[in-house]
């Protein structure tokens, strides 16, 4: 069972279970990078309590959650838009802001391009190079703005994911600051996807939204807070931009259980600290075990997943299919533009699960 990253997404355990004729519980899903410690126990209690509210419509303005987020990030509640996953925001941003052309820093999440196409906008790409270990090519983005001035092809927006998926690399902080200034100077929008930033939260640009009126930061409760099935995420921007984005949301796109779960999740700092500490330790151990496999190349990662390149003549699709037959689902990244046909991505899971994957890969690569 190969879960292909281009166009489709990882984490479709339902389709994998159907194809493999196995119950979902018997599959180890390394294809979606969700916190292996699961949601905070407080979230499960909040969900129990929230059940009494399902006979009412949810608060269409998610006021409670916005107040909690505003106090956490020392911003105004008007600067937050709560949505049905950050995907809802990615989808509506090009339409809400009337973006006609955008630059995507890749190889990256396919939804930026898809959302731009659905809105009738053009996308251009600058891509990190394999020989640079997929370091985000921020200087090239700056060059696009500078040279665009001459040839009239300056993009109206930049989509950048930090740390990036599926490569795992984070932007150099000075380079990112320079880029934010440059994009702002040219009056373009900067959509900064921080879906994976909780694992390196010191890199977050949330405080910069007050400085750059066209910066939109995206956050999610899917990965670090382990709530992919509830669908909840948010954007942080100027209050004016937030009001614009809200106009393009369908009413009640966020349900009451997702709202209550997110409120509990963001409050549980103990679970957050434990999750970060666990990830740091286990990512290091898992990476070390994987790098001992013959011919396997690992790329540096600041997120809760690792990008790997299989040795020649392996093919990502064939290896993903073989592991799938053993109940281990990984991301086949061979169709992601800018990655090689031998590239896969694996989430960092529990120590036991990770050991199972290392053992299975060792057998296949022998
Ligand atoms: C980089 C990135 N951004 C955003 C999303 C969307 O997350 P969600 O809609 O679950 O918040 C994903 C999901 O895989 C992702 O990988």
Is residue 32 domain-shared with residue 51, that is, in the same domain? no
Residue 303, domain CATH: 3.90.1150.10
Give 328's strand partners: 28
What's the CA gap between 95 and 48, in Å, rounded?
37
Task: Find out whether the beta carbon of 234 lies less than 6 Å from any atom of ligand 1.
Answer: no
Is residue 204 domain-shared with residue 286, that is, in the same domain? no
Q: Among 224, 247, 267, identify where a domain stops.
A: 267
Say what the pLDDT of residue 27 is.
Answer: 93
Is residue 226 domain-shared with residue 87, that is, in the same domain? yes
DSSP state for residue 153 in the 8-state scheme: -
What string of DSSP letters covers 285-344? HHHHHHHTSTT-EE---SSSEEEEEPPTT--HHHHHHHHHHTTEE-EE-TTSTTS-TTEE
Task: Find out whether the beta carbon of 193 lies less than 6 Å from any atom of ligand 1.
Answer: yes
Cα separation of the two ends of the chain: 21
Task: Find out whether the beta carbon of 263 lies less than 6 Å from any atom of ligand 1.
Answer: no
Is residue 34 domain-shared with residue 58, that is, in the same domain? no
Is residue 212 domain-shared with residue 99, that is, in the same domain? yes
Is residue 242 domain-shared with residue 119, that is, in the same domain? yes
Task: Find out whether the beta carbon of 195 lies less than 6 Å from any atom of ligand 1.
Answer: yes
Q: 224 CA to middle of ligand 1, Å?
A: 11
Is residue 156 domain-shared with residue 51, that is, in the same domain? yes
Is residue 87 domain-shared with residue 117, that is, in the same domain? yes
Q: 213 CA to middle of ligand 1, Å?
A: 24
- Would residue 62 be called left, alpha or beta, if left means φ above 0 and alpha means ψ between -120 and 50 degrees? left
Whose Cα sits closest to atom 7 in ligand 1? 86
Task: Find out whether the beta carbon of 220 lies less than 6 Å from any atom of ligand 1.
Answer: yes
Is residue 79 domain-shared with residue 32, that is, in the same domain? no
**Would the CA dihedral through 196, 164, 140, 138 be positive or negative?**
positive
The count of residues in the chain is: 366
What's the CA gap between 262 and 145, in Å, rounded?
38
Q: 195 CA to middle of ligand 1, Å?
A: 6
What's the CA gap between 208 and 348, in Å, rounded?
30
In Å, how far from its chain's centre is CA 229?
15
Number of domains in the chain: 2
Buried b / exposed e across 139-151, counting CB within 10 Å, b at 16+?
A: eebbebbeebeee
What's the CA gap between 155 and 103, in Å, rounded?
6
Pocket test for ligand 1, best of 6, 86, 92 (most atoms within 8 A of CB): 86
Q: What's the token pair of residue 66?
A: 């916005």
Q: 366 CA to middle of ligand 1, Å?
A: 34
For 112, the domain range is: 41-267
Provide the H-helix boundaries in the chain: 13-20, 41-50, 63-73, 86-96, 111-118, 138-151, 173-185, 239-247, 256-267, 269-291, 316-325, 351-365
Nearest-atom number in ligand 1 for the CA of 33 is 14
SS3 204: coil
Task: Find out whether the beta carbon of 8 lies less than 6 Å from any atom of ligand 1.
Answer: no
Task: Find out whether the beta carbon of 31 lies less than 6 Å from any atom of ligand 1.
Answer: no
Q: 114 CA to middle of ligand 1, Å?
A: 13
Predicted confidence pLDDT, tens digits, the chain (366 residues): 444 444 467 768 998 889 888 999 999 999 999 999 999 999 999 999 999 999 999 999 999 999 999 999 999 999 999 999 999 999 999 999 999 999 999 999 999 999 999 999 999 999 999 999 999 999 999 999 888 665 667 899 999 999 999 999 999 999 999 999 999 999 999 999 999 999 999 999 999 999 999 999 999 999 999 999 999 999 999 999 999 999 999 999 999 999 999 999 999 999 999 999 999 999 999 999 999 999 999 999 999 999 999 999 999 999 999 999 999 999 999 999 999 999 999 999 999 999 999 999 999 998
What string of DSSP letters covers 105-138? EES--THHHHHHHHTT-EEEEEE--GGGTT---H
Q: Among 236, 267, 298, identify where a domain stops.
A: 267
Q: What's the token pair of residue 337?
A: 């533009």
Q: Among 211, 239, 267, identify where a domain stops.
A: 267
SS3 195: coil
Neighbour-count burial of 62, counting CB atoms closer than 10 A to its CB (0-12 exposed, 13-18 middle, 19+ buried): buried
Q: 327 CA to middle of ligand 1, Å?
A: 24
Residues 6+ apart with CB under 8 A from 107: 127, 128, 134, 166, 167, 333, 336, 337, 338, 339
Nearest-atom number in ligand 1 for the CA of 32 is 14
Say what the pLDDT of residue 294 is.
Answer: 94
Is residue 80 domain-shared with residue 163, that is, in the same domain? yes
Is residue 32 domain-shared with residue 48, that is, in the same domain? no
Task: Find out whether the beta carbon of 109 lies less than 6 Å from any atom of ligand 1.
Answer: yes
What's the CA gap between 295 and 4, in Å, rounded?
22
SS3 157: strand
Say what the pLDDT of residue 151 is.
Answer: 61
CB-CB contact of 338 with 323 (8 Å) = no
Is residue 263 domain-shared with residue 274, that is, in the same domain? no
Task: Find out whether the beta carbon of 9 lies less than 6 Å from any atom of ligand 1.
Answer: yes
Say what the pLDDT of residue 1 is.
Answer: 47
- The number of CA neighbours under 13 Å toward the Cβ of 96 is 21
């Amino acid at each position: 069972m190969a879960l292909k990253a281009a166009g489709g997404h990882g984490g479709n355990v339902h389709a994998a279970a159907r194809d493999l004729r196995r119950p979902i519980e018997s599959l180890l899903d390394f294809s979606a990078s969700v916190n292996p410690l699961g949601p905070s126990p407080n979230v499960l209690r909040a969900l129990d309590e929230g059940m009494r509210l399902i006979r009412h419509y949810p608060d269409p303005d998610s006021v409670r959650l916005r107040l909690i987020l505003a106090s956490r990030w020392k911003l105004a509640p008007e600067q937050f838009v709560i949505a049905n996953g950050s995907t809802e925001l990615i989808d509506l941003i090009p339409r809400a802001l009337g973006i006609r052309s955008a630059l995507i820093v890749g190889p990256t999440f396919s939804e930026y391009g898809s959302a731009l196409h659905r809105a009738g906008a053009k996308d251009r790409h600058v891509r990190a190079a394999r020989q640079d270990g997929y370091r985000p090519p921020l200087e090239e983005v700056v060059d696009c703005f500078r040279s665009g001035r001459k040839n009239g092809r300056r993009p109206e927006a930049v989509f950048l994911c930090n740390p990036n998926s599926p490569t795992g690399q984070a932007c150099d902080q000075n380079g990112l600051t320079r880029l934010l200034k440059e994009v702002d100077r040219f009056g373009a929008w900067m959509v900064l996807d921080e879906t994976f930033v909780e694992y390196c939260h010191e890199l977050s640009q949330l405080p910069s939204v007050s400085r750059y009126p066209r910066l939109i930061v995206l956050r999610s409760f899917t990965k670090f807070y382990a709530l992919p099935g509830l669908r909840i995420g948010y954007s942080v921007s100027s209050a004016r931009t937030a009001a614009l984005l809200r106009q393009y949301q369908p009413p009640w796109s966020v349900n009451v259980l997702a709202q209550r779960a997110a409120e509990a999740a963001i409050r549980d700092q103990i679970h957050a600290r434990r999750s970060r500490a666990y990830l740091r330790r286990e990512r290091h151990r898992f990476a070390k075990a994987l790098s001992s496999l013959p011919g396997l190349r690992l790329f540096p990662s600041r997120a809760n997943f690792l990008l790997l390149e299989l040795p020649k003549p392996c093919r990502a699709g064939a290896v993903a299919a073989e592991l799938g037959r053993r109940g281990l689902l990984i991301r086949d990244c061979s169709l992601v533009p800018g990655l090689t046909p031998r590239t896969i991505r694996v989430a960092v899971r529990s120590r036991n699960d990770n050991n199972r994957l290392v053992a299975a890969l060792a057998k296949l690569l022998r």
